[in-house]
């Protein structure tokens, strides 16, 4: 069994566990128009992969080292697109190129302080921890978080406890801690 088929089998198992209505169906059966494999290149090595596939399957297929991220190469004056190492569906094109590399870093500002992170999303709890590395003491502390200059999908607004938000370079977070007593 080829590595591509092993990676695809991992995806199929996850997919069959997620939906009882489609249990046992392969990716090709979900999308009958896509019953073939395509040749792709990961880190300048040639592979055959089912199309469509998942990000997780591409990471396995390309043997992407732990701590690295996989990027889809794009043309022109655009940044290569990161591929999530997860169950999201990735549609491939014949002879498409991917490469691995360190995760992209983002510079954000939390309460006026410059912070560098290497994730595309940040949670309420993570923003609060960046704002208050040594949290105020007491059981009655209420944190509020707002942000601005975010990406088009979420340019500004409040960030509520339990939520996460996509980030971009230069995004501004304002965090306040208030004693509720």
Q: What is the model's pLDDT at position 176?
A: 96
Looking at domain 106-179, its CATH architecture is Roll (3.10)
Distance of CA 111 to CAs 60, 146, 147, 152, Å?
40, 10, 10, 22
Length of the chain counted residue by residue = 181
Q: What is the pLDDT of residues 140-179, one digit of tens each?
A: 899 999 999 998 888 999 999 999 999 999 999 999 999 8
Q: What is the pLDDT of residues 88-140, one digit of tens each?
A: 999 999 999 999 999 889 999 999 999 999 888 999 999 999 999 998 887 78
| pLDDT exceeds cutoff 60 at 2 | no
CB contact at 8 A, 180 and 142: yes
Looking at domain 3-101, its CATH architecture is Beta Barrel (2.40)
Q: What is the pLDDT of residues 4-30, one digit of tens each?
A: 555 555 545 544 444 433 333 344 444
Domain ranges of the chain: 3-101, 106-179
Cβ-proximal residues to 158 (8 Å cutoff; 6+ apart), any chain: 144, 145, 146
H or E segment to which residue 28 belongs = helix 27-30
The whole-number average pLDDT for the span 39-52 is 97
Q: What is the model's pLDDT at position 23?
A: 36
Which residue, 112, 107, 114, 110, is CA-closest to 167? 107
Please state, for a pLDDT cut of 90, what percent of the chain lies above it.
64
């Amino acid at each position: 069994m080829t590595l591509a088929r092993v990676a695809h089998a991992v995806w199929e198992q996850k997919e069959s566990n997620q939906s009882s209505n489609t249990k046992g169906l392969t990716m090709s059966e979900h999308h009958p128009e896509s019953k073939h494999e395509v040749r792709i290149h990961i880190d300048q090595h040639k592979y055959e992969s089912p199309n469509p596939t998942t990000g997780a399957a591409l990471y396995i297929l390309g043997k992407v080292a732990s701590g690295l991220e996989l990027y889809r190469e794009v043309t022109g004056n655009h940044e290569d697109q990161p591929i999530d190492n997860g169950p999201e569906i990735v549609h491939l094109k014949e002879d498409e190129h991917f490469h691995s590399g360190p995760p992209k870093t983002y510079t954000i500002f939390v309460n006026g302080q410059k912070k560098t992170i290497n994730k595309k999303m940040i949670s309420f709890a993570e923003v609060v921890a960046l704002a208050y590395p040594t949290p105020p003491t007491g059981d009655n502390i209420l944190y509020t978080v707002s942000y601005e200059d975010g990406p088009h999908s979420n340019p500004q607004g409040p960030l509520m406890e339990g939520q996460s938000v996509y980030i971009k370079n230069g995004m501004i977070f304002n965090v306040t801690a208030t004693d509720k007593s």
